[in-house]
Structure 1
Amino acid sequence: MTVASASWAQQAPQSRFADANGLRMHYLVAGQGDPVILLHGYAETSHMWLPLMKELSKNHLVIAPDLRGFGETAVTESGYTKKAMAQDVHALATTLKLGKARVVGHDIGLMVAYAYAAQYPADVDRIALMDAFLPGVGNWKDVWLLRDLWHFHFYGKTPLALVAGRERTYFEHFWNDFAADPNHSIPEADRRFYAKTYGQPGRMAAGFEVFRAFQQDAIDFEQMAKTPLPMPMLVLTGEKASGNTLIEQARLAAPNVEGVIIKGSGHWLMEEATDQVVPKLVKFLND
């Protein structure tokens, strides 16, 4: 083991739980300093952030929660609007006495991050959004209906029965088809980890509820976007995924937006373009 890897092993993220907003929430924590909150997306959990946490924890206290119903955080029947999920995260931040934080979100997590900043702007120093879209902002339905209409409406009794025991088969669609190259997407060990995690009781139902909530999210976000976000924003998108779309949406919701398209990457920015994405995020969050 090298000195660097030994140091990381000593400081590796700890797995913890806290009660927040009436919810038993699981989170990873590492480092010291100004706080950064990392919010994962669909088909993943807080586990996705480990490479970024390794770098950020050199200068920051880094918190990566599992969102409501995901990973090891409690499953509930309701509460899956991104506005409500952001309230969960803010309650966790309050419990942990984080104060003003920097917030990063990918996929569903970017929606939660935006809702967090819109509801609690005084508690957000800067925000980074990574590849998906903002329901209700601009011409969002062209994105929502463009490609995978089926999975946005894939919830309820029959979809749950079809996916039970076949979670990996279902997620392979996202991991492969949303990547620029399915052979350079989510690593095999992570695929096994996520499939097992989502195979736990209630987890797929919770994930489906995230999609069911999109229409309410659109109503909430349309209202939120009427008040521009005051903090700096970085938007990272995959050239083979959301491209300019999310950047254009973000500029409708905030005046200070730096948009970067990651060349050659699909949706899974952390895994497909780690060497490009991690330094950009570290630089932005360290400023």
Structure 2
Amino acid sequence: MNTFVRLFRRSAAVVVMLAALHATAQAAGNTQIQDHSADVNGVTLHYLQAGAGDALPVVLLHGYAETSHMWRPLMPKLAGTHVVIAPDLRGAGQSSKPDGGYDKKTLAQDIHALVQKLGYPKVRIVGHDIGLMVAYAYAAQYPDEVDSIVLMDAFLPGVGDWTHVWLLRDLWHFHFYGETPLKLVDGRERTYFEHFWNDFAADRTHSIPEADRRFYAKEYARPGGMRAGFEYFKAFEQDAKDFAGFAQTPLHMPMLVLSGEKAGGQFLIDQAKLVDTDVQGVIVKGSGHWLMEEAPEQTIPALVAFLDR
């Protein structure tokens, strides 16, 4: 009997150990970030994906001077319970760079087509910079398909006193497009982007890391990349018309606004309250525009708490 008991206990221990190893391997698989691409809405979108679980999928939308790469530090934090999808927007990174379609309404339709193709009827969506405009356009067009939304440091064209941002003199790049600007930045992509990475940060020595600067400059130097990037700003006048129309029907899903103390500050939070009835605003202390890089210790926990709730 004793021999039998010992064998049984050893077998049980082996089963428990194998189960633990399987769980560990599964968790590691969930956090592995994989590259994919999909043909949707007339373009090819490159996207990163990680995670599994029963919680609603999370879609992460990058801003200008960055790509889906910016979300890599966040994705493993969500991947244990969510499928996490981080696309390169039309015109950025490894996605298509067509001649048109850079208004945020169309960019949102690209992302919606991707989400539909992946088979997800409802998502939680996060956007930074240009990405927040796309996230808002997504929620405004498909409100029943968005559980919650996060807007991160920029502004909403066409909402409230938005021309206060539009007319700021240091935002000359809003009108920097066309043949001559393209010739000026050809081969000098990084020089151009240093304006954003340095001047929009609270501290230029604590902004986008060097390795990421090299990565993004190379990504935007792809054929058509700089032209497409300029189109995001050229489309603001159309975006303003679209967003003014969207704002006539307020959203009701939970919205988190994260805004840098040394950048957008209260402005974006006030705008958000004009377009959604359930807004939680957070000023990220000491940070400029680049919240993920300048203040990850504040930004990432706030995102995870909101998206996991």
- TM-score bracket for this pair, using the shorter chain length: over 0.9
* Distance in 2 of aligned mates of 1:232 and 1:63: 20
* Distance in 1 of aligned mates of 2:292 and 2:283: 13
Deviations 1:23-69 (A, max 9, x none): 11100000013200000000000000001101011110000000001
The one of the two structures with greater contact order (alpha-carbon pairs below 8 A, sep at least 6) is: 1
**Any unmatched runs of 5+ in structure 1?**
none
Contact 2:30 / 2:50 at 8 angstroms: preserved in 1? no
1:83 maps to which residue? 105
2:251 maps to which residue? 229
* Distance in 2 of aligned mates of 1:46 and 1:279: 19
1:11 maps to which residue? 31
* Distance in 2 of aligned mates of 1:9 and 1:238: 34
1:286 maps to which residue? 308
Equivalent in 187, 203, 214 of residue 192 of structure 1: 214
Equivalent in 43, 49, 62 of residue 23 of structure 1: 43
Q: Compute the displacement of 1:12 (Å).
A: 1.9
Deviation larger for 105-114 or 14-23? 14-23
* Distance in 1 of aligned mates of 2:202 and 2:141: 34
Q: Compute the displacement of 1:7 (Å).
A: 6.1
Contact 1:137 / 1:218 at 8 angstroms: preserved in 2? yes
Are 1:132 and 2:151 counterparts? no
Q: Which amino acid aligns with 2:249?
A: T
Q: Compute the displacement of 1:212 (Å).
A: 0.3
2:126 maps to which residue? 104
Contact 2:260 / 2:285 at 8 angstroms: preserved in 1? yes
Q: Which amino acid aligns with 1:91?
A: A
Q: What SS class does the counterpart of residue 255 from structure 1 fall into? A: coil
Q: After superposition, where does 1:241-260 map in structure 2 within 5 Å?
A: 241-260=263-282
Q: What SS class does the counterpart of residue 148 from structure 1 fall into? A: helix
Q: CA RMSD in A?
A: 1.5
Equivalent in 255, 275, 282 of residue 297 of structure 2: 275
* Distance in 1 of aligned mates of 2:102 and 2:277: 28
Q: Which amino acid aligns with 1:122?
A: D
Q: Compute the displacement of 1:9 (Å).
A: 7.7
Q: What SS class does the counterpart of residue 73 from structure 2 fall into? A: helix
* Distance in 2 of aligned mates of 1:10 and 1:284: 20
Q: Which amino acid aligns with 2:141?
A: Q
Percent of matched pairs sharing the same residue? 67
* Distance in 1 of aligned mates of 2:62 and 2:89: 8
* Distance in 1 of aligned mates of 2:215 and 2:27: 25
* Distance in 2 of aligned mates of 1:96 and 1:243: 36
* Distance in 1 of aligned mates of 2:28 and 2:261: 32
Are 1:238 and 2:260 counterparts? yes
* Distance in 2 of aligned mates of 1:16 and 1:191: 23
Q: Compute the displacement of 1:250 (Å).
A: 0.3
* Distance in 1 of aligned mates of 2:66 and 2:181: 19
Q: Which amino acid aligns with 1:31?
A: G
**Any unmatched runs of 5+ in structure 2?**
1-23
* Distance in 2 of aligned mates of 1:10 and 1:42: 28
1:150 maps to which residue? 172
* Distance in 2 of aligned mates of 1:67 and 1:179: 23
TM-score by length of 2: 0.90
How many residues are treated as equivalent by the alignment? 284
Deviations 1:242-270 (A, max 9, x none): 00000000000001000000010000000
